Structure 1
Amino acid sequence: MSESPDEYCTRELRSADPDRWLTALFAPDARRPGLHALYAFNAEIARAREAVSQPMIGQIRLQWWREAWEGIWENRPRNHPVVRALHAHCQRLDRGNVFALIDARETDMEEKPPADMNALLEYAEASSAPLMQLAAQQLGAALPPDIARDAGIAYALIGLLRATPHLATQHRVMLPANVLGAHGLMPEDVYQRENHASLAAAMSEIAEEAGRRLRAARSGHVTREALPALLPTTLAGLHLSALTRLHFDVTAAENVVTPLRRQMALLWASLRGRF
């Protein structure tokens, strides 16, 4: 028996983005296939850069997704399992947020790191906050823009810290150039994994900003209906605590945040109604 588009999205999401797959388990059963489709789409555009040999080809992939969404809204979906699942469940999603997510991934095609913290924050917000808004919409809930912005920035910054070693293997750095420079570092030092103490100090600045954004997001009120859209931030908070405690040894921090810890944190957040 062939795999359905919904089954494909679930399988792909569980492999590509296990944290969001786990948080979707806390959504109502009827809403879960739509969340899986939305998150599978996000995984597709998030890996557009590393899936190709040249940035220009990555840009072509992003344009393919823009056109695919136009087809979804015009009831002529392309023959791709994620597109077909999106057509079945996500036709009414806000166009502005969908295209904002795709546009944000244009930054991934650039060779240089962000120039400064402001540039990094702009990227973090654009690549994450619209997804939380879309997830809330898929859940039939409203999410205050300021909470989506702060939670999205926090989630993205923590994700970039976690991804620093992986990106370095591709000679990519997403830490701001001026922050690296303030600690005597060049992007090449990150590639070569030298000066760990200086790199940890640079990462600490990003972590402090992520922590501020996380606290700001948590200070607001979110309905129970919208809560699953923000549960990825609960897991990001676990990772931030582990990274800080272990002086930004990313591998050690990943080992500390076990599947059981993730599950228990999400269960507790769901019971409390707070992320």
Structure 2
Amino acid sequence: MIPLSPDMIEQAAQVAPDQTLATSFLAPEARAGMIALILFTHEVARARQVVSEPMLAAIRLQWWREALDEIYTGKTLRAQPTAQALSATIHMFDLPRARLDALVDGFGIEQDDVPFETWAELADHSDQTYGNFNRLALLIAGAPAISAALDQAARQAGILWRICDLMAQWPRWTHRRQLWLPVEARAGLDLEAVFAGKTSPELTRVLREAHHHVVSAHKATNQACRKAAFGQAFPAIAYATLGLPYAKAFQTLNDPFRQVVSLSLLERQVRLVWSVARQRL
């Protein structure tokens, strides 16, 4: 039994609404495991977002590394609700530690002010973070093992989601004078103008580059999905389809400083139902 309180389920719905909504398609124990994974991922993903200094983020991530060590070595586990739920999930679904360690390390990269030189490096970071989230989610949802096709679907869906998520949070990051763009994408950008909330033709170019990479990941995800045997596990990555409206906005709008996409609950549900029915994003 995975120890989840109603407050934890509500928290998951608040911090990761798309991922949590997709758990509705899973069996009860798998859904509980997914929510525990969602809350854990949120904790490590927000390490850099909620502090002013990289060192403080490093301390938060180290806390979770030590919690994982307690879980996997059988030491007394700290009395923290998400850690307790994650422990039960790990043991129930036999989750590999290497994936969880890699996920934590991936978010640790964000302590750097300029973490990525190229779009390819951002793609690898996306795979290390949300690609590994997806692999763990597939195991929780019922995949007996991560085949080559499932691995590729997890990677590409992770790239799609991570780029969309970073761009959707553009106003918050630029307010903090942080810009999660590869160095190669910044050529010609006036960073002070970006931090001041000003648009420009150069910024439009960057948005279209981001759109191109999401479209490529979307195509590659569905190519992998056609080869993969998901069984009942596909809903574990179906949430990524809800990132696609943001990608379309990258191509058609010049101003990322405003909230350009807001899907109603019904629209999100319909998109997820259609995705799960086809086993495609």
TM-score scaled by structure 2? 0.89
Higher relative contact order, structure no. (Cα contacts within 8 Å, ≥ 6 residues apart): 2
Structure 2 counterpart of 1:191: 195
Structure 1 counterpart of 2:51: 52
Q: Does the residue aligned with 1:224 lie in a helix, a strand or coil?
A: coil
Question: Comparing 192-201 with 102-111, which one deviates more in the overlay?
Answer: 192-201
Q: CA deviation at 1:252?
A: 4.4
Amino acid at match of 1:108: E
Structure 2 counterpart of 1:84: 84
Aligned residues: 269
CA distance in 2, matches of 1:231, 1:245: 24
CA distance in 2, matches of 1:201, 1:224: 40
Q: 1:197 to 1:59 in 2, by over 3 A?
A: same
Q: Does the residue aligned with 1:251 lie in a helix, a strand or coil?
A: coil
Structure 2 counterpart of 1:138: 140
Is 1:156 the counterpart of 2:162? The answer is yes
Q: CA deviation at 1:194?
A: 2.0
Kindly indicate whether the alpha-carbon contact (under 8 Å) linking 2:157 and 2:218 is maintained by their aligned counterparts in 1: yes
Q: Does the residue aligned with 1:25 lie in a helix, a strand or coil?
A: helix
Q: 1:268 to 1:248 in 2, by over 3 A?
A: farther
> Unpaired runs of 5+ in structure 1?
none
Q: 1:215 aligns with which of 219, 241, 257?
A: 219
Is 1:125 the counterpart of 2:131? The answer is no
CA distance in 2, matches of 1:11, 1:240: 27
Superposed, 1:263-274 pairs within 5 Å as 263-274=269-280
Kindly indicate whether the alpha-carbon contact (under 8 Å) linking 1:113 and 1:173 is maintained by their aligned counterparts in 2: no
CA distance in 2, matches of 1:159, 1:53: 21
Amino acid at match of 2:205: A
Is 1:260 the counterpart of 2:228? The answer is no
> Unpaired runs of 5+ in structure 2?
none
Residues 47-84 of structure 1, C-alpha deviations (whole Å, 9 max, x = no match): 00122221101001101101101112234221100011
Q: 1:6 to 1:37 in 2, by over 3 A?
A: farther
Amino acid at match of 1:233: A
Kindly indicate whether the alpha-carbon contact (under 8 Å) linking 2:171 and 2:256 is maintained by their aligned counterparts in 1: no
Q: CA deviation at 1:247?
A: 4.2
Is 1:116 the counterpart of 2:118? The answer is yes
Please provide the CA RMSD for this pair. Answer: 1.8
CA distance in 2, matches of 1:61, 1:34: 22
Question: Comparing 237-246 with 107-116, which one deviates more in the overlay?
Answer: 237-246
Is 1:232 the counterpart of 2:236? The answer is no
CA distance in 1, matches of 2:53, 2:259: 32
Residues 144-175 of structure 1, C-alpha deviations (whole Å, 9 max, x = no match): 21221111111111111111121101111011
CA distance in 2, matches of 1:147, 1:242: 24
TM-score scaled by structure 1? 0.91
CA distance in 1, matches of 2:174, 2:121: 19
Superposed, 1:55-70 pairs within 5 Å as 55-70=54-69
Kindly indicate whether the alpha-carbon contact (under 8 Å) linking 1:246 and 1:252 is maintained by their aligned counterparts in 2: no
